[in-house]
């Protein structure tokens, strides 16, 4: 029997959440085929968010070019920038997102990932006391001010690392967990490969300047996603606005957290990398993560971070295109005990689109008609294709809602005979 294919266009997809397999989504901006060479490092200086500016100007090279977005270029003075929707994985903004950059204290997000993993596995405990070595005590840059020879609780060290950006806290954690900073760094590099960081290399646990220590803005955002998704019980450490250690109150250096504009993650600064931050914010159940780096001052970092994060929320929305089990079509069946089978979407699908664009999304159904029995429940009978309004084509299986058994041999013979007699 000759089985023709059919395409049905469902218009007006305004009512029509994205799974990880479909995360490229709307306006996905492609990675370069070859990595951009590492940004040259300037003279190493301690990481400190208290510096008022980058002293050598290196980080501002190329900062005048705009970022790419699905709605057109957007000016930003950041040298590196990347913004992504947490649920769909849709890229909202990027600028040199795959270029290697000095990550400064954004490195501590990776240090935290290893620490949180140890806590989750029960190999480390929040009330566990770790010793302060001379190396940790002498560590320069931003500090928690751990006393030499003392024992510090892991929970305090995590707060010192993430809220005050303490380099000394990082060393205590690394030595307490792995025996040395070098061995802890080996854990960082191994784990980076398994969680999807494709353009990162670590040489220390603090972000101390090193020409062979780098991350990309995209990798920083990927790491933020993994921290939030993999360690929901520990993410609160990034959100805390202050903490007290040694009778000294210290505030969170991430101004966006302090102002309630974000619930994490980290800031950083070196001469080579300029001022940067990774911020994530959940507003009304929708989360966006932003990375900027290479800004000229802490003030510019705060203002540009807030501006770009607000821009992303203001200009895009998540539109539900499909719901798993949503009935879309009745498909004729050949040689089945039933003449047709109801077909539905196999998965939920949410697209991140510019505000008001959801009604410009097109949904088309492609299937063979009729479908030959037997048909199993959940069997794919066609494809749903989502396109239009700048959306890169996405396909979701069209599946049978119920099973349809095949006719017995006598009934099949009669059906085939009627079919061919009807054609003569």
- Catalytic positions are 105, 108, 165
> Which secondary structure element, helix H or strand E, spans residue 155, and what is its range?
helix 154-162
Q: Are strands 391-400 and 340-345 parallel, antiparallel or unpaired?
A: antiparallel
Name the token pair of 37.
Answer: 């060479």
Buried b (16+ CB within 10 A) or exposed e, 134-156: eebbebebbbbebeeeeebebeb
Alpha helices of 296-408 — where are they, by DSSP H? 298-315
3-state class of 238 per DSSP? helix
Whole-number Å distance between alpha carbons of 193 and 143:
29
Can you say how many angstroms the Cα of residue 107 is from the centroid of all Cα atoms in its chain?
16
Is residue 266 part of an annotated ligand binding site?
A: yes
CB atoms within 10 A of CB 60: 17
CB atoms within 10 A of CB 195: 17
Whole-number Å distance between alpha carbons of 342 and 146:
66
The residue behind tokens 């590196």 is 80
What letter would DSSP give residue 60? G
Whole-number Å distance between alpha carbons of 172 and 83:
32
Name the token pair of 9.
Answer: 């266009």
Distances (CA, A) of 105 to 78, 131, 140, 207, 287: 17, 22, 13, 5, 23
Buried b (16+ CB within 10 A) or exposed e, 321-338: bbbeebebbebebbbbee
- Binding-site members are 266
- For the annotated binding site for substrate, the residues are 266
């Amino acid at each position: 029997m000759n089985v023709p294919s059919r395409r049905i266009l469902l218009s007006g997809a305004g009512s029509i959440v994205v799974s990880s397999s479909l995360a490229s989504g709307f306006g996905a901006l492609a990675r370069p085929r070859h990595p951009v060479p590492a940004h040259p490092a300037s003279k190493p200086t301690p990481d400190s968010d208290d510096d008022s500016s980058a002293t050598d100007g290196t980080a501002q090279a190329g900062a005048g070019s705009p970022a790419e977005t699905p709605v057109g270029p957007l000016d930003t003075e950041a040298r590196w920038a990347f913004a992504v929707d947490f649920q769909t994985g849709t890229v909202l903004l990027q600028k040199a997102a795959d270029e290697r950059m000095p990550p400064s204290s954004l490195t501590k997000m990776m240090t935290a990932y290893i620490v949180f993993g140890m806590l989750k596995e029960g190999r480390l405990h929040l009330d566990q006391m770790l010793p302060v070595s001379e190396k940790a005590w002498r560590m320069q840059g931003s500090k928690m001010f751990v006393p030499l020879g003392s024992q510090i609780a892991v929970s305090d060290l995590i707060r010192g690392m993430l809220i005050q950006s303490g380099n000394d806290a990082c060393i205590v954690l690394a030595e307490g967990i792995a025996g040395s900073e070098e061995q802890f760094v080996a854990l960082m590099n191994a784990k980076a490969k398994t969680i999807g960081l494709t353009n990162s290399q670590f040489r220390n646990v603090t972000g101390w300047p090193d020409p062979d220590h780098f991350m990309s803005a995209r990798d920083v955002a990927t790491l933020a996603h993994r921290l939030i998704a993999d360690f929901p019980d520990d993410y609160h450490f990034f959100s805390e606005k202050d903490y007290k250690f040694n009778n000294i109150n210290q505030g969170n250096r991430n101004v966006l957290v302090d102002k309630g504009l974000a619930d994490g993650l980290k800031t950083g600064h070196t001469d080579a990398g300029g001022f940067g931050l990774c911020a994530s914010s959940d507003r009304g159940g929708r989360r966006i993560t932003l990375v900027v780096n290479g800004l000229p001052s802490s003030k510019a970092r705060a203002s540009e971070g807030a501006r770009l994060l607000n821009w992303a929320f203001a200009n895009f929305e998540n539109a539900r295109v499909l719901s798993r089990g949503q009935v879309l079509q009745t498909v004729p069946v050949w040689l089945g005990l039933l003449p047709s089978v109801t077909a539905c979407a196999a998965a939920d699908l949410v697209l991140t689109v510019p505000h008001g664009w959801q009604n410009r999304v097109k949904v088309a159904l492609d299937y063979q008609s009729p479908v030959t029995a037997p048909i199993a429940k959940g069997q794919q009978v066609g494809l749903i294709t989502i396109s239009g309004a700048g959306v890169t084509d996405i396909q979701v299986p069209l599946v049978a809602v119920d099973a349809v058994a095949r006719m017995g041999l006598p009934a099949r013979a009669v059906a085939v005979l009627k079919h061919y007699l009807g054609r003569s």
